[in-house]
Chain A
Amino acid sequence: MTTQAPEAPAPVEVVAPAGTFEPVIIGFTCNWCSYRAADLAGTARVKYPPNVRLIRLMCSGRLDPTFVLKAYAEGADAVLVSGCHPGECHYIEQNYKAMRRFQLLQRTIEALGIEPGRLQLVWASAAEGVRLANEIARVTEEVRALGPLNWPAADLVDLDTFSLEKAWEATGGDVEGPPKAPAGANPDHPKEAAK
């Protein structure tokens, strides 16, 4: 929405005093434990910094590294991944997959110059509202110390667009669906045969 709110915002919206860095952190939570822990923190009125914005997944096993990279690419300063404690996954064992993806992703983002501290894994059961709140506070402070990540915006370049339709009218052909791209070297692949 970057390009959509040119009008000056109401002053009330400016909460971070000029100069102070308020990190924005995307948090992925598991529907069964950490998201409920967040709910619990709320019901118990536990206070934590407002820097984390949570996304609910059904399970930490749903966590696709794409989501994490996307968050950075969209300007997030850090990503918090949370799930049920190892051995207590609502789906029996999926949080182990999350753990492995997390560890591999840690190595890759480091190779891309992103501090490991910007990708954190926190286990929190549905009963651990306070724990989650504390972890969020901790992560926020650590990221504040790391400073902004500020990954550049992807496509601010104005592509000089070109009307395919116009071009097509000029060549005057019909417009049915695309020709099926050949499935490659194996036309008698059962899947092809099945068609």
Chain B
Amino acid sequence: MSPTARSKPAAKPAAKPTAKPAAKPAAKPTAKPAAKPKLAIFGAASCGGCDIAIVNIHEHILEVAAAFDIVLWPTVMDGKYSDIEAMEDGEITITLVSGSMRTDETVHLSKLLRRKSKFMVAFGSCASEGCIPGLANLTPRKEILDTAFSTSSTDNPDGIRPVWEFEAPEGILHLPEFEPMLRTLDQVVDVDYTIPGCPPESEQIWAALQAVVAALKGTGPLPPKGSILGAGESTVCDECARKRDVKKIDRFVRIQQVAAFDPEICLLEQGLPCNGPATRNGCGALCPSVSAPCIGCYGAAEGVVDYGARLMSAYASVIEATKPEEIDKILDGIPDPAGQFYRFSLAGSLLRGSRSAWQSDGE
């Protein structure tokens, strides 16, 4: 494959017309399969917020239940992996994967579900770009485990660490291995659609599901492979009610440093590093509307290769200083650049994480 095929823009061909599969004539309704389409909702390394967001579509959930035969949704109903394994390839019509690829178990199941599903959807920030858990990619696995298993709150005098294989009297137990680096869904399997957000806004979820249902009924068009569903193509500012002027930033402040911000004016113009300009719209600019800066959970705008790079470029461009030392003084207002620019998108970014994380090579 050519390097371009590997590059991120290639992975998000959404806007490009040639992305569409060759046009096919609408098939006759009779051609529709009798059985209800099957739906799987799988939470990998996730906080469960995505599931709550789905349930949060209120009574519409019933319409979903009516439209689909839900074959897997560990959060709300019992389900066995074996049942999935038993299925035909492609038997599941659509699978929503929330959460990121953190253990070899999640990787394995994602691959399994991919095989069994017609459509694979990266659901929410974790699955699509790594989200907060992705920040673990700044640290070698060993350090993460050390921290997790030797904090003051942990009672672990012998400094025991988890083992991935354990010889029990009953035989060898395999535990899900915590992988050296966290990955996004599309770094593990082929993904058809992405629904961004941490979590995705419920009305957006419903809109997306409706689109899919309509498509399945043949009454609506099928979104082209790689489409971002349930979000806009612009950025949060597009939906932000705050008044915007030209940007001239002479300082960056952290929200706790300022008593009150002007409720009318763009937060960035007030020195608060708001990620809105670079973050895909769809949330309705919730955070800025309550004077909290956008932290970027909806990920990058349409066609953007690296979220953090875009945001860095934007911030740096509007700094009001021409002398290196002045510039540095202003930049000191952003004490944690990696966290500021890659809070949600680190695992999905060009570099995916820090050098120490991958150099430690799992140790």
Interface residues of A (CB under 8 A from B): 1-4, 64-66, 68-70, 72-74, 86, 93, 96-97, 99-101, 103-105, 107-108, 111-114, 149, 151-155, 157, 159-162, 164-165, 167-179, 181-186, 189, 191
Interface-side segment among B40-48, B52-60, B143-151, B305-313: B305-313
A173's partner among B216, B227, B238 (CB-CB below 8 A) is B216
The 10 tightest CB contacts between A and B, nearest first, are A185-B284, A113-B355, A176-B221, A172-B27, A174-B26, A167-B118, A178-B223, A111-B338, A65-B309, A66-B309
Number of A-B contacts (CB under 8 A): 230
- Docked pose: A154 CA to B324 CA in angstroms: 34
B-chain residues with CB within 8 Å of residue A172 when the two chains form the complex: 27, 31-33, 218
A191's partner among B120, B207, B238, B331 (CB-CB below 8 A) is B238
B-chain residues with CB within 8 Å of residue A107 when the two chains form the complex: 331, 334, 337
Q: Are B227 and A65 in contact (CB under 8 A)?
A: no
CB contacts under 8 Å to A, within B215-236, are: 215-218, 220-225, 227-234
B270 at the interface (CB under 8 A from A): no
B-chain residues with CB within 8 Å of residue A74 when the two chains form the complex: 3
Q: Are A69 and B23 in contact (CB under 8 A)?
A: no
28 contacting pairs across A/B (C-beta < 8 A):
A64-B310, A65-B306, A70-B7, A70-B305, A70-B306, A100-B317, A104-B337, A105-B312, A107-B331, A108-B312, A111-B354, A112-B354, A149-B355, A160-B114, A167-B118, A168-B24, A170-B90, A173-B215, A173-B216, A174-B26, A174-B27, A174-B218, A174-B221, A175-B222, A176-B222, A181-B207, A184-B281, A185-B284
A-chain residues with CB within 8 Å of residue B220 when the two chains form the complex: 173, 179
Which A residue's beta carbon lies closest to that of B25?
A: A174
How many of chain B's residues have a CB under 8 angstroms from any CB in A? 97
- Docked pose: A99 CA to B323 CA in angstroms: 9
What is the minimal beta-carbon distance from B343 to any residue of chain A, in angstroms? 12
B-chain residues with CB within 8 Å of residue A108 when the two chains form the complex: 308, 312, 337-338, 341
Q: Are A171 and B322 in contact (CB under 8 A)?
A: no
B-chain residues with CB within 8 Å of residue A93 when the two chains form the complex: 322
